[in-house]
């Protein structure tokens, strides 16, 4: 994997984004440090234009991403694929006026339900900028194929609720590059509150690992080769499932179980408060809620703030 061209941008906190060429004409745009609302994106340059995988959370970050694309090619962005509905991947959609915005059909519904970029009650809010709601307008249920010249991009729903109800992979079988969205936070704490812990295990084991991708671009954290970050994610998810079963049997709330837990090897991962949200989801499924089914998201986020010492969640976007 080549480090490829690296372009300076005006964003300096917590780190400068990097454009990395991971295959011929295929680029990852990596935004350190990958914590709340700071995501990775990527793009493929084809003869008809550019295919982008995801937007960014704020106007400033999305404009920096667009500048990085222009550093590589003057071709317009013709297609924008949202890997799921979360705002760090979709709020910037409005800044792609020439693009057909593609996502799973549930991503459209969830993006509309959440609304445009605006201050959030549970986070230290960044300057979101002026980003009107621009939901995906070409949707699918299972799988579609995009073609950047000879490069095929298979966009596939993972088949179950996982990080959300609407996660899709962007798989380039020719160069063996996988954009996996937020199924993997490389070096960060996974977040399954709006999806399913058990479903994410299934998606990683039965859909992601069998692809055997040479290069993986995660939704957050560094690009990687091999499977170690996927295996680490699976270890954490199994840890959550075990903790949820024991905590619920002991009559503990998710917040109580989290407070009594030693995170061990996962203690150094940022955004540790996601433990509480993940336990809320796992508890709900143990009580019979279907994967991705409705739960009290606001209550879970409030418990995450309580676990964080009553401080709103840190956002450096």
CA distance 50 to 157: 22
Helix (H), strand (E) counts: the chain: 9, 13
Domain contains 4:
no
Domain contains 167:
yes
pLDDT over threshold 60, residue 10: yes
Burial (CB count within 10 angstroms: exposed 0-12, middle 13-18, buried 19+), residue 113: exposed
Domain contains 12:
no
pLDDT over threshold 60, residue 117: yes
| SS3 category, 168 | strand
**Residue 265 to residues 36, 37, 119, 155: CA-CA distances in angstroms?**
21, 24, 33, 33
> Between β-strands 143-148 and 138-140, what pairing exists: parallel, antiparallel or unpaired?
unpaired
**Residue 64 to residues 55, 91, 194, 317: CA-CA distances in angstroms?**
11, 14, 28, 12
Q: Which of 88, 84, 97, 182 is nearest to 134 (CA)?
A: 97
Helix (H) or strand (E) holding 60: helix 59-72
pLDDT given at position 13: 80
Domain contains 312:
no
Count of the separate structural domains present in the chain: 1
CA distance 222 to 22: 12
Query: What CATH number did the domain enclosing 70 receive?
Result: 3.60.15.10
Taking the model in full, what pTM does it have?
Answer: 0.96
pLDDT given at position 9: 62
Digit-coded pLDDT (tens) for 77-114 = 999 999 999 999 999 999 999 999 999 999 999 999 99
Domain contains 23:
yes
Residue 298: which domain range? Answer: 18-307
Lowest mean pLDDT among 1-15, 62-76, 155-169: 1-15
Domain contains 5:
no
Domain contains 313:
no
- DSSP letter, residue 3: -
Q: What is the mean pLDDT of residues 188-208?
A: 98
**Look-up: residue for tokens 């459209």?**
108
């Amino acid at each position: 994997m080549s480090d490829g061209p690296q372009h300076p941008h005006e964003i300096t906190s917590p780190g400068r984004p990097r454009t990395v060429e991971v295959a011929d004409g295929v680029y990852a745009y990596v935004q350190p440090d990958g914590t709340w609302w700071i995501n990775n994106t990527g793009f493929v340059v084809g003869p008809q234009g550019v295919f982008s995988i995801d937007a960014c959370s704020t106007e400033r970050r999305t404009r920096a991403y667009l500048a990085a694309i222009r550093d590589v090619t003057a071709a317009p962005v013709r297609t924008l694929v949202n890997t799921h509905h979360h705002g760090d991947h979709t709020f910037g959609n409005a800044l792609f006026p020439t693009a057909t915005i593609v996502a799973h059909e549930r991503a459209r519904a969830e993006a509309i339900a959440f609304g445009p970029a605006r201050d959030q009650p549970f986070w230290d809010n960044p300057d979101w900028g002026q980003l009107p709601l621009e939901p995906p307008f070409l949707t699918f249920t299972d799988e579609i194929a995009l073609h950047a010249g000879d490069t095929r991009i298979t966009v596939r729903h993972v088949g179950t609720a996982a990080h959300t109800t609407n996660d899709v992979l962007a798989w380039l079988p020719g160069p063996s590059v996988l954009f996996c969205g937020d199924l993997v936070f490389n070096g960060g704490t996974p977040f399954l509150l709006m999806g399913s812990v058990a479903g994410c295990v299934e998606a990683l084991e039965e859909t992601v690992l069998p692809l055997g991708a040479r290069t993986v671009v995660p939704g957050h954290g560094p690009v990687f080769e091999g499977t170690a970050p996927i295996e680490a994610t699976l270890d954490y998810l199994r840890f959550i499932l075990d903790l949820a079963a024991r905590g619920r049997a002991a009559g503990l709330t998710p917040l109580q179980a989290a407070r009594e837990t030693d995170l061990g090897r996962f203690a150094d991962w940022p955004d540790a408060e996601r433990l509480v949200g993940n336990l809320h989801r796992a508890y709900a499924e143990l009580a019979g809620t279907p994967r991705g089914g409705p739960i009290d998201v606001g209550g879970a986020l409030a418990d995450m703030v309580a676990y964080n010492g009553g401080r709103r969640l840190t956002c450096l976007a």
